[in-house]
Structure 1
Amino acid sequence: MMDIVLDTPTRTFVEVSEVWVPEGDRLVLAEGNYGDLKEFAAASGQESFGFGEGLPGKAWSDARPVVLKAFEGSCFKRTEAAKAAGLTSAVAVPVFDGETLKAVLVLLCADDSERTGAIEVWQARDDILRLADGYYGSARHFEWVSRHTHFPKGQGLPGAVWAASTPILMRDLGSGYKFIRSESAGKAGLTTGLGLPVPVPGNDTFVLTLLSARGTPLARRFEIWDARSARVGRSKEAVLVDGICAREGPLWSDETERRAAAWQGPIGKVIGSGLPQVMSGTAGLPADYSSFIALPIHQQGELAYIVALYI
């Protein structure tokens, strides 16, 4: 596996991560990583969301990932607290197991002239993936190119995820021939792409892509874990099948599989609960990482994959 060295970030693209879970007929905060944004954390801890209410509630009712590039005039309920914290945009990703909502993962970003990266939502229409919405930070030209690009099944990162129904890591976006938007990605400084399917009730197809830049990466370490029972041979276990790390070198190999069991470590919490996980602080994380975001993907009635980001 080829390792990509990412510069140590001075500022991250994502500033806040939250997990909202159903409790009765509302979504309540299960976990949140707010960094030093204590006032926004306090405001968030007092909130809950009904069906269709606020950003988490809208992701629940619409049964699809929802991107907000601005909070004013939107469904967002914590606008004043977010403004005071310098937050300007967000994406909410619902986690469904069949018809059942397990949780909603919310990522919040701050916009300035230096932050580059992309969070994209692609939707299949007429056998073509088209951009449903996205947030790009300062990568304005790449955003324009993306809005004028579409993907048939199997083409580019979104199309490859659609065809395989699996998460996919793509390296060297600026020079990789498999990345259709490589020229504009290279100019924007985008280096690493992570694409994942977002299963939802009904027949709609959504693909989420997270594109990371050197100076303000989404994460310094990316992992994809396969938790399908057919892959691991027994339930409540997962195998690391791909990863990119800034400093540690290859994270896996065919000769030395890495496995995680339920409730053992950060990945184990996802396996055991089937829920997204957000952690802050160094306890329980590999050395030199201070936060962790994990998103489970449920398919055909079982936990199929886990995508993990370490910052």
Structure 2
Amino acid sequence: MDTAILATPRPFIAATEVWLPSGDRLVHGGGDYADLTAFEAASIRQSFARGEGLPGKAWDEERPVVLKSFDGSYFLRAEAAREAGLTAAVALPVFDGKKLLAVLVVLCAGDETATGAIEVWRGQDGLLMLADGYYGAARQFEWVSQHTHFPKGQGLPGGVWAARAPILMRDLGSGYSFIRSESAGAAGLSTGLGLPVPLPGDDSCVVALLSAAGTPIAHRFEIWDARAARVGAAGGAELTDGICDRDGPLWDEDNPPRVQVWQGPIGQVLGTGLPVVLSARPGLAAGYNLMVALPIHRDGELSHIVAWYI
């Protein structure tokens, strides 16, 4: 076990959960709550109708939903969340065409030191505009983001929009390709993962996860390409980019790692098409306590899987 990773300050995301359609409701499909046992117990017992609670709202409105405060909100577990010290949540629906497959919810416990960003960008008049976002203590970076827009191909969100694929960016504070580099550097943001979120009738939604060293979203990020044009008739998925703050780059361009259906956690996503959340279990890469793997479905196929590890 790598002691450097275990000694790293607490992550920006405090809990992660998956909600799955079952008839006319969303039911608990797994998650990781660290030591928030009371909130976990309340969550396992919960279910949501369409439009009910945060997962139900993401389902009904067919879009990612950012909730920056639970007080007086539609969040049904608000009391349990407050007792657990949770302050904000983001729900990401996973669609295959018009069919909802799952809703991934991440919950944060913000304070004056928790810095990071979970952003939702949507197309409007040919540009990506910030629809919403949660930034923790990165107030100046939030203000800059609210006053920034991206054409296709520009910056991390615009690059994802043009490529229709996930993109991983390093050194946000000094990288010329990250348009908000100056404010990102001031906020301590270092690594960015941008992913397309195809929605029914909307191909312009992009979510960006921006990680800081002090309160990281993840220690390791991976992008897997599952498109038939990439992996051939044999199927599976190929690692096309990845970085770890312990091991550096994770892939070899001349001999990229591959997995087949049902081979490890990524293979589980290939087999089910659903998000996976693993907590310190066999099959999880050594030195990590949590893995989240999120599928991206496009044009009738599972096109990519993005994964992050704490």
AA at the equivalent of 2:46: E
Equivalences for 1:49-128 in 2 at 5 Å?
49-128=48-127
- Matched with 2:178 is 179
> Which structure 1 residue ranges, 5 or more long, are not aligned?
none
Q: Give secondary structure in 2 for the equivalent of 1:224.
A: strand
- Asked if 1:22 corresponds to 2:21, the answer is yes
- Matched with 1:263 is 262
Aligned length: 307
Tell me the CA shift for residue 230 of structure 1. Answer: 1.1
CA contact (8 A) 2:238 2:256 kept: yes
> Which structure 2 residue ranges, 5 or more long, are not aligned?
none
Q: Give secondary structure in 1 for the equivalent of 2:207.
A: strand
Q: List per-residue Cα deviations over 1:76-99 (Å, max 9, x = no partner).
A: 110000000000000000000001
CA contact (8 A) 2:122 2:204 kept: yes
Tell me the CA shift for residue 27 of structure 1. Answer: 0.3
Distance in 1 between residues matched to 2:221 and 2:6, nearest whole Å: 14
Q: Give secondary structure in 2 for the equivalent of 1:146.
A: helix
Distance in 1 between residues matched to 2:283 and 2:252, nearest whole Å: 23
Distance in 2 between residues matched to 1:128 and 1:181, nearest whole Å: 16
Tell me the CA shift for residue 131 of structure 1. Answer: 0.4
- Matched with 1:232 is 231
CA contact (8 A) 1:228 1:235 kept: no
Which contiguous aligned blocks of 4+ residues in structure 1 show a shift greater than 6 angstroms?
Answer: none
AA at the equivalent of 1:128: L
Moved more, 44-53 or 229-238: 229-238
Q: Percent identity?
A: 65
Q: Residue 205 and residue 276 in structure 1: after superposition, are their counterparts in 2 closer, same or farther (change >3 A)?
A: same
Q: Give secondary structure in 1 for the equivalent of 2:248.
A: coil
Moved more, 66-75 or 132-141: 66-75
AA at the equivalent of 1:148: H
Equivalences for 1:25-40 in 2 at 5 Å?
25-40=24-39
Q: Residue 21 and residue 94 in structure 1: after superposition, are their counterparts in 2 closer, same or farther (change >3 A)?
A: same
Tell me the CA shift for residue 73 of structure 1. Answer: 2.2
Q: Residue 120 and residue 8 in structure 1: after superposition, are their counterparts in 2 closer, same or farther (change >3 A)?
A: farther
CA contact (8 A) 1:282 1:288 kept: no
CA contact (8 A) 2:160 2:194 kept: yes
Q: Give secondary structure in 2 for the equivalent of 1:77.
A: coil
AA at the equivalent of 1:143: E
AA at the equivalent of 1:14: I
Q: Residue 204 and residue 260 in structure 1: after superposition, are their counterparts in 2 closer, same or farther (change >3 A)?
A: closer
TM-score (norm 1): 0.96
CA contact (8 A) 2:259 2:266 kept: yes
What is the Cα-based RMSD across aligned positions, in Å? 1.4
TM-score (norm 2): 0.97
Q: Give secondary structure in 1 for the equivalent of 2:162.
A: helix
